[in-house]
Amino acid sequence: MKPHLLENRFRRSLLEQARRTPDGRILAALSGGMDSVVLLHLLHLLAPAAGLRVTAAHLNHGLRGAAADADQRFCESLCDGLGVALIAECRPVERAAGESPQESARRVRYAFLREAAALTGAACIATGHHADDQVETVLWRLATGADPAHLSGMAARSGPLWRPLLGEPRAALAAYLRTHELPHVEDASNQDLRYTRNRIRHRVVPELAAINRALTGAVSHTARGLAEDDDFLHRQAARAWDEVARADGEARCLNRAGLAALHPALVRRLVRRALQEAGQAVVHHRHVGAVIGLLNAGAGRQLDLSDGVRATAGYEEIRLSAAATGTPAGPVASEIALAIPGDTPVPWAGVVLQARLADPPEPGWTLFDRATFSGPLTVRPRRPGDLFHPDGMHGHAKKLKDFLIDARIPRGERGQIPLLVAPEGVLWVVGMRQDARFMVKTSVGSEQPALALRVRAAAAVM
């Protein structure tokens, strides 16, 4: 490995990054290990010519006691010798539910780097990940059943993160280190085989390298190809999203027929995005598979996923939303007396019923024959066993539940449909269908004016 070739490749990457970094500031993550030391030295050597200013950042997790404190002192000494500003901080790692110590440390570390970047005004955070890290990442994700979109490994650029050494093997970094006689620290925990990443590095990779001596290059090549495929599918999914997805407040709704017509690769991506936007913090392939399974489920089927997200199969859509907990925030559905004449707000349905005595009738109102029912009239939600005689069914009775199912009203919305009720029965499924027994028969005269009703959205009459 020739160090000057590494410098040349890094210089080209740095110039490209300079065009992406208008503020001219880069934050370099510094652990004190070989890769981060090489990164910082290259930035210190080449960044000024590219018009870039470098600040280093080191986080002491405190997980390794005195050894961690020694690493921090090393980083302080290294930056002092190079004349590079350093932001160093000690921050304890609090594990979230289900996290390993390494996952928790990584989460805290990246949070620290984002905060340090904001403090220095740096839009770019450079890390020392190299090609061997990429091999380990791909193998780890493959072994744990990652979604295909993640098998491409780490991206050279991802948001503010920049990994300029991702194409370089560990051997090239080691040669650079020796040539420039750069000191570094070794993290003893990297040899601990209790950690999955270390087992991959020390056991799995050597076995695969015995099969293919060019393992690092081969996996990196495959990862780049997968990244290109992922970019293409991502663009296709973004176009499909506008066709099959919609937002309903914090919820996300996916059109069932639209999803069913798409290639499975796009369906997985759309469901994953919908879950994330609906509040699913960590989306596993089992969550995606469970939602896709609802495509073949009957309307009303519900699944409670993690992070309080609920998937509900409707007639036309799959709805992903926060599962309801505790007391509903909206008004409680109750029976309300109808004002005749006058306006009757129905808060739990979000409507106002307007009533008047009309003779002759005028367009836009629904008419009822007052001779066919008595009072009082009330507005209420549905109840078990409700029946009515829908107009158009030749006098046959129908269960209200069956009527709403046939009308493809989602289960969660059926209780919000108001019913106009008299002692004789349901007069009107408001806004949908009258009971034929109580309608005005135009061929028969009436001695009293009809009851005229119309429904308006509550906001429209305020």
Average pLDDT over residues 287-315: 85
pLDDT at 104 (0 to 100): 82
The ranges assigned to domains in the chain are: 3-226, 249-322, 336-461
Kindly tell me if the per-residue pLDDT of 105 is higher than 70.
Answer: yes
% pLDDT > 70, the chain = 93
Kindly tell me if the per-residue pLDDT of 216 is higher than 60.
Answer: yes
pLDDT at 331 (0 to 100): 61
Closest by alpha carbon to 434, among 446, 425, 443? 425
Kindly tell me if the per-residue pLDDT of 11 is higher than 80.
Answer: yes
- For the domain made up of 3-226, the CATH class stated in words is alpha beta
The Cα–Cα gap between 69 and 60 comes to 7
Q: What is the pLDDT of residues 261-282, one digit of tens each?
A: 999 999 999 999 999 999 887 7
pLDDT band at 301 (very low <50, low <70, confident <90, very high): confident
> Regarding predicted confidence, which is higher, 462 or 191?
191
> What would you report as the CA-atom Rg of the chain, rounded to the nearest whole angstrom?
33
Average pLDDT over residues 192-215: 92
Kindly tell me if the per-residue pLDDT of 228 is higher than 60.
Answer: yes
| C-alpha 434, offset from chain centre | 43
Average pLDDT over residues 243-253: 91
Dihedral sign, Cα of residue 214, residue 218, residue 221, residue 227? negative
pLDDT at 328 (0 to 100): 46
pLDDT at 459 (0 to 100): 66
Tokens for 257, please give them.
């027929």
CB 9 within 8 A of CB 164: no
Q: Mean pLDDT across the chain, nearest whole number?
A: 87
pLDDT at 408 (0 to 100): 77
Closest by alpha carbon to 420, among 409, 428, 432, 411? 428
> Regarding predicted confidence, which is higher, 216 or 414?
216
Kindly tell me if the per-residue pLDDT of 115 is higher than 60.
Answer: yes
The CA angle 25-103-227, to the nearest 5 degrees, is: 65
Average pLDDT over residues 66-73: 92
Q: Which CATH architecture has domain 249-322?
A: 2-Layer Sandwich (3.30)
pLDDT band at 325 (very low <50, low <70, confident <90, very high): very low
Kindly tell me if the per-residue pLDDT of 39 is higher than 50.
Answer: yes
Distances (CA, A) of 409 to 18, 228, 232: 56, 43, 38
Distances (CA, A) of 449 to 99, 132, 340, 446, 455: 71, 86, 13, 7, 19
Kindly tell me if the per-residue pLDDT of 327 is higher than 60.
Answer: no
What pTM did the predictor assign?
0.67
Q: What is the pLDDT of residues 413-449, one digit of tens each?
A: 788 889 999 999 999 999 899 999 999 876 555 567 8
Closest by alpha carbon to 334, among 428, 400, 419? 419
pLDDT at 426 (0 to 100): 93
Give the three-state DSSP class for 252.
Answer: strand
